[in-house]
Amino acid sequence: MTRIRQALIAGGGIAGPAAALALRRAGIDSVVYEARPEAADGAGAMLALAPNGLAALTLLGADRALQALGQPIRTMVMTDGRGRRIGEFPGLAGLPPNRVVNRVEFARALREQAIAEGIRFEHGKRLVGADETPNAVTARFDDGSVASGDVLIGADGIHSGVRTLIDPQAPAPLRVPLLNFGAVADIPVAAQADAMYFVFGDRGFFGYWLQPDGRTAWFSNLPSATLMTAAEARAVPADEWLRRLRGAYRQDEPARALLQHTAAEQLVVLGSMEMMPSLPHWHRGRMVLVGDSAHAPSSSSGQGASLAIESAIELARCLRDVPDVGDAFAAYERLRRTRVEQVAARAAKTNHGKTLGPVARTLMRLLMPVATKTFMNPERTLGAEQRYRIEWSEAVAWR
Ligand SMILES: Cc1cc2nc3c(=O)[nH]c(=O)nc-3n(C[C@H](O)[C@H](O)[C@H](O)COP(=O)(O)OP(=O)(O)OC[C@H]3O[C@@H](n4cnc5c(N)ncnc54)[C@H](O)[C@@H]3O)c2cc1C
């Protein structure tokens, strides 16, 4: 049996609480150290949980808390900017629908469940360094405090500091030439209640769905050669972004109407879309990465949170079953790398489709109806991603 008893988790977003809950089920205690102060819940618009992510949440006992959040999405409808249907992806047979949730509410629900199970969270603790001995690792935080444990898990998101501690040469996230925005507009639109609409408009991609409260959630991926961090994008006044968005989508419906009914203070500005390139080293010594720090697939995948939760569970399973820490981390990486890189590759193709010029865009709109019935059919495109299940009760084969 492993001698791991205590894990330090840097990051209390989605992967951090998920890892803490999974480790608890593996008989390993953990403390979650989150950089943000307790009162600050962070930002974020909506995120999608795919059937595989929902199944992973069930293993954590977190599926019931989730039922109170968000809404199910059974169908994905592709249209052009005039509202003409150019394709449709129904949910896969035998699987529950995707679920869209507010990121902040979802992260809070996971954290509350973890706290209810006795897991400690410490806020205002930004990890700035770590020191290893053969039997332990000590994390250093920006307030001068330290904490020691058997392993340090970097669940600190796409701009991970633990990643650089593991490998100072680690690649940085790639920025995709698409600016991300989201909001909930105060009007309903004519839409199927459980469908998410993807609009390939004249000058940009736009997604939306009707909420049960009669308002409409939307997000935009606006092509932009100027690459911006979230902080850089937020330095531009939200009014100015709304003005640009209204200009870009002025000929696309219902984007035009939704933007008219979105106030500047409702706009979530996320900067350029980001994704992690393939990362050479997921672990070193007693440190390991989980979630976006290792494998952010870009938000076009609809899988970022789901993969983060899956990885958290597989890491806990490996630490449960594999006696040596290094062997456990290697087994974890073997279980996860191919899968997460395949999802990232699909998302990269989707991103490419969102940055096409006018001619290629017209061609795509013409081909889409045939494509979605043949080579792009839902089962072939999404089956392997969404039908994936973790065999928690099975021992990890690692030798
Ligand atoms: C502010 C924010 C908004 C987001 N909005 C969206 C969205 O609208 N739509 C979407 O699909 N995805 C969004 N995401 C990404 C989404 O949450 C992740 O893709 C996914 O859920 C994987 O989660 P994660 O826990 O690996 O990373 P994250 O959810 O990014 O969580 C990482 C956590 O680590 C903390 N942290 C960072 N550095 C340190 C450090 N040095 N020490 C301690 N703690 C640290 C961060 O404060 C954060 O709470 C957002 C992420 C963030 C941080």
pLDDT of residue 394: 97
Which are the contacts of 86, defined by CB distance < 8 A and separation ≥ 6?
A: 78, 79, 80, 200, 365, 368, 369
pLDDT of residue 355: 74
Strand order in the sheet with 174-185: 85-90, 75-80, 195-200, 205-210, 216-223, 174-185, 268-275
Question: From the alpha carbon of 126, which atom of ligand 1 is closest?
Answer: 42
Instruction: Look up residue 102 and give its amino acid.
Output: N
Report how far apart, in Å, the C-alpha atoms of 373 and of each of 91, 97, 370 are: 14, 20, 5
CA gap 27, 21 in Å, rounded: 10
Distance between Cα 223 and ligand 1 center (Å): 23
Question: From the alpha carbon of 141, which atom of ligand 1 is closest?
Answer: 42
Tokens of 268: 């979530």
pLDDT of residue 50: 96
Question: How does pLDDT run across 113-155, given as a tens digit for each residue?
Answer: 999 999 999 999 999 999 999 999 999 999 999 999 999 999 9
The pTM is what? 0.93
Kindly state if the Cβ of 43 falls inside 6 Å of ligand 1. Answer: yes
Mutate to test the pocket of ligand 1, among 8, 9, 14 (most ligand atoms within 8 A of CB): 14
Question: What is the CB-side half-sphere exposure of residue 304 using CA atoms within 13 A?
Answer: 23
pLDDT surpassing 60 at residue 91: yes
Q: What is the mean pLDDT of the chain?
A: 92
Question: How does pLDDT run across 327-352, given as a tens digit for each residue?
Answer: 999 999 999 999 999 999 998 888 88
Kindly state if the Cβ of 154 falls inside 6 Å of ligand 1. Answer: no
